[in-house]
Amino acid sequence: MPAPNRSSVRYIVLFAAAVCLVCALLVSGAVVLLRDRQAQNQKVDRLTRVLEVAGLLKDGEQVDQKEVLARFDKHVRPKVISLESGDEAENIDPFTYDQRRAMQDDKTSRPAPPNEARVFRLPKHGLLYQVVEDEKVQKLVLPIQGYGLWSTMYGYIALEEDAQTVAGITFYEHGETPGLGGEIENPRWQSTWKGRKVYDGEGEVKLRVQKGSAEGNPHKIEAISGATITSRGVSNTIALWLGPEGFGKYLDVYRSKRIGHD
């Protein structure tokens, strides 16, 4: 049998096709084999952000997945609540509920009212986290998302037990400009949120990011220099998710129960 002509067009095309097919199979196999591990890594990363914003991980502290899960199980109690009523949804497992996925499904979401955060659908149920100590709620961690300059920004905001005072804020996913809007990840800027107040005496969301100094104003955060639109997007995000269309009704129910227990 004569040896193939390796310089022929036919041989080159067939050889290239075979290489592409083998590479495609290898990549596809890797994706399938690593899918569960990637999903687990994403889950642990989000749980880590919850621990960080709740103050259960110190700045710069490095812990492995096992420790993240252990601290989460010990100190954090996830809850699924109805955004419409503010009551807990007892028939939905908070450990498997995916709020972002629910927002993409017509059966588990609803059209959002006009809002400047550019969120077009809201989930019927929200996932939040109660930070507990000796069965008493110490903090609440709420997921937030809204559009900045270039992207949807995903993060968490933590409130103290009064459901009014900010304990921390973090963003774990966005596509904002590095060095400008991307500074929403800067721990120094995030630290300026601590101690700020979300609502005024009438229960309206007044927490805002503004240009210029915010010193002495309990409801204002100084904007990121050179990132006006991203800063405005953060304000719009807070207004939506801590307002009546977001977690506002749950926070009302929580505060009323807390006052009753006091």
pLDDT in tens, 97-119: 999 999 999 999 999 999 999 99
Report whether pLDDT(185) > 80.
Answer: yes
What is the count of structural domains for the chain?
A: 1
- Quick one: which of 144, 163, 176, 124 has its CA closest to 50? 144
Q: For residue 53, what pLDDT is reported?
A: 96
In a domain, 163, yes or no: yes
In a domain, 144, yes or no: yes
Which position has the token pair 């067939």?
14
Handedness of CA 34, 40, 41, 42 (dihedral sign): positive
- Domain around 143: 75-261
**Residue 56: C-alpha distances to residues 43, 48, 78, 108 (Å):** 17, 9, 15, 32
In a domain, 12, yes or no: no
pLDDT tens string 202-255:
999 999 999 999 888 999 999 999 999 999 999 999 999 999 999 999 999 999
Report whether pLDDT(89) > 80.
Answer: yes
In a domain, 88, yes or no: yes
Report whether pLDDT(28) > 80.
Answer: no
Q: For residue 173, what pLDDT is reported?
A: 94
In a domain, 67, yes or no: no
Name the band, by pLDDT with cuts 50, 70 and 90, for residue 23.
Answer: confident
Q: Which of 6-20, 28-42, 90-104 has the lowest mean pLDDT?
A: 28-42
Report whether pLDDT(261) > 90.
Answer: no
For 36-66, give the DSSP string. Answer: HHHHHHHHHHHHHHHHHHTTSS-TT----HH
Q: Length of the chain, please?
A: 262
pLDDT tens string 120-179:
999 999 999 999 998 899 999 999 999 999 999 999 999 999 999 999 999 999 999 999
Q: For residue 90, what pLDDT is reported?
A: 87
Which position has the token pair 């309990």?
218
More confident residue, 144 or 61: 144
Q: What angle do CA 59, 197, 175 make, to 5 degrees?
A: 55
Backbone φ/ψ region at 179: left (φ over 0), alpha (ψ -120 to 50), beta: left
In a domain, 39, yes or no: no
In a domain, 3, yes or no: no
pTM summary value: 0.85
CA–CA dist 185, 168 (Å, integer): 12
- The SS3 assignment for 91 reads coil
In a domain, 158, yes or no: yes
Task: Tell me the average pLDDT across 17-29.
Answer: 75
| Tokens at 70, concatenated | 């252990």
Count helices and strands (H / E) in the chain: 6, 9
Q: For residue 84, what pLDDT is reported?
A: 96
Q: Could you tell me where the beta strands, DSSP code E, fall in the chain?
A: 76-82, 109-111, 121-123, 125-133, 136-147, 152-160, 166-173, 208-210, 220-222
Q: What angle do CA 211, 212, 215 make, to 5 degrees?
A: 120
CA–CA dist 19, 9 (Å, integer): 15
CA–CA dist 123, 102 (Å, integer): 6
Q: Could you tell me where the beta strands, DSSP code E, fall in 40-135?
A: 76-82, 109-111, 121-123, 125-133
Any residues with CB less than 8 A from the CB of 2 and at least 6 apart, and which?
A: none
Q: For residue 107, what pLDDT is reported?
A: 96
More confident residue, 24 or 256: 256
Q: For residue 124, what pLDDT is reported?
A: 97
Report whether pLDDT(191) > 60.
Answer: yes
Q: For residue 37, what pLDDT is reported?
A: 60
Q: For residue 26, what pLDDT is reported?
A: 72
Name the band, by pLDDT with cuts 50, 70 and 90, for residue 41.
Answer: confident
